[in-house]
Amino acid sequence: MRNKSVVTEGNEIRLATELIELGARLQVLETETSLSRERLLNLYKELKGESPPKGMLPYSADWFLIWQPNVHSSLFIDIYNYLVAHTDLRGAHALIKSYRLYLEHVQVCNLEPILTLTRAWTLLRFLGNLLETVSCSRCGGHFIAHRQDINSDYVCGLCRPPSRAGKSKKQASEATQDILAAL
């Protein structure tokens, strides 16, 4: 039996705890830490008071190309790429810090976070294989796009929003309340 360092195990537990608090699924925890499945299950139950959700992780790369998820995913990946380029953060630590900054930015903008930690982790797995970042030919921002698409004249969803963008019931209700408050 191999002796484990108490410090290393403590760091792994701290990493798993941060991931669980941010909403990571069990599969993410198993990949990003060296803790046993049983240990992760116990830790998850202790922190959340319930068993982790069951089922497969989201696998469709197309989800990241839908209008709102694309904007949120692109924001997250820009934060992630900046941190990796300008700090010593790598791996799960870069994921956690980037996701926390994404949540802060979304909160400051009074938006609902669309990207979950598990989807952010999945996005990082898809980059380079199925997805890539491309520059918008209008605004110059970097956005997620399919790797096999011809993206030389790419226009992002912010410069060319879809016709039904922003017409949800919640936004219509908020707009109505704003109008009533102004009267």
Binding site listing:
136, 139, 156, 159
Residue 157 contacts residue 71 (beta carbons within 8 Å): yes
Strands (E) located in 18-172: 131-135, 142-146
Binding-site positions for Zn(2+): 136, 139, 156, 159
**Measured CA distances, 4 to 17, 35, 42 (Å):** 19, 11, 19
* Residue 89 exposed, middle or buried by CB count within 10 Å (0-12, 13-18, 19+): middle
Residues 6+ apart with CB under 8 A from 75: 102, 105, 106
User: Which residue type occupies 138?
Assistant: R
The count of other CB atoms within 10 Å of the CB of residue 78 is 17
